[in-house]
Amino acid sequence: MPVELTYFQAVVLGIVEGLTEFLPVSSTGHLTIAEKVLGLPVDAPAVTAYTAIIQIGAIVATFLYFARKIARLFLAWVGGLRDEERRAHRDYSLAWAVIVGSLPIGVVGFLLQDVITGPVRSLWVVAGALILWSGVIWWAESRHDRFAADDAQRGEEGVSLRDGLVIGVVQCFALIPGVSRSGATISAGIARGIDRVTATELSFFMAIPALTAAGAYQLVDEWDDVITLGVGPVLVGIVVAFLTAYASIAWLLRFVAAHSLRAFVGYRVTLGLALLVALGAGWMTAT
């Protein structure tokens, strides 16, 4: 039976996506919960595809917010490929870190696409991941505190190719709903001694190829299912996601400049436990 999306549902899901895509709380997890509350079948192909397609709004927001910096990194990368002397510039190394860090999730996501859109699309998985990855965030912040105490944190100039690869590998865990892509990448960055603001910006940059690839693939592969949702509601969801994501990016950068990610741990654990109670009591079904 075709799944139809109302404009109200599209607006709600757009707000949820935009607010949570870059916060370390899992946008996919929140979208899955919201879809369930709105009465949508979370494991239906059209709904699964929409969860990825709506991220296009967040991608555009990232491009616009960081347009100058993205252009700077791109030009530095191209210039470094042509001129050996320009390879010593920090932007050249930073660009390569982003490129290398973006590859693992693309490979793993392609190989495990049937698992990602199938078995793990369960609120049991979301609840468990919300709680368990909170421990990783706490541990990463503890590592960050030690680097800060030793005055050993690194900024953009200290980001290496190895940093990019490690962050990229950890980003693969974000394919599990409830982990959070930003939670995974920022945690990996600060655990390696990168300061929070730089780690957060790296997370944004690595989101661009990951989210673009996921959205484009789902749009093409599931087009027949997605079109049943309605072109209007789909576009409205993307626009709303863009507006809220842009505001979310600005807020998060200001927040991490002075605050720890531990502030999100309590929320993640509380939401995870609430989900477990609701599922265990039969108030909600997992799919």
Domains of the chain, by residue range, sit at: 7-280
* pLDDT (0 to 100) of residue 225: 72
Q: Whose CA is closest to 179, among 122, 130, 115, 125? A: 130
- pTM, two decimals, is 0.88
Question: Rounded CA gap, 228 and 173, in Å?
Answer: 31
Q: Whose CA is closest to 265, among 141, 155, 111, 147? A: 141
* pLDDT (0 to 100) of residue 1: 59
Which residue's entry shows tokens 């944004």? 204
* pLDDT (0 to 100) of residue 69: 92
* pLDDT (0 to 100) of residue 234: 87
* pLDDT (0 to 100) of residue 137: 96
Per-residue pLDDT of the chain (287 residues; tens, 9 = 90+): 567 889 999 999 999 999 998 899 988 889 888 988 898 887 787 888 788 788 889 889 999 999 999 999 999 999 988 888 888 888 899 999 999 999 898 888 778 777 776 677 788 999 999 999 999 999 999 999 999 888 888 988 889 999 999 999 999 998 898 899 899 999 999 999 999 999 999 998 988 887 787 777 777 776 777 778 888 988 999 999 999 999 999 999 999 988 899 999 999 999 999 999 999 998 888 77
AA identity, residue 232: G
* pLDDT (0 to 100) of residue 117: 66
241, 57 Cβ separation under 8 angstroms: yes
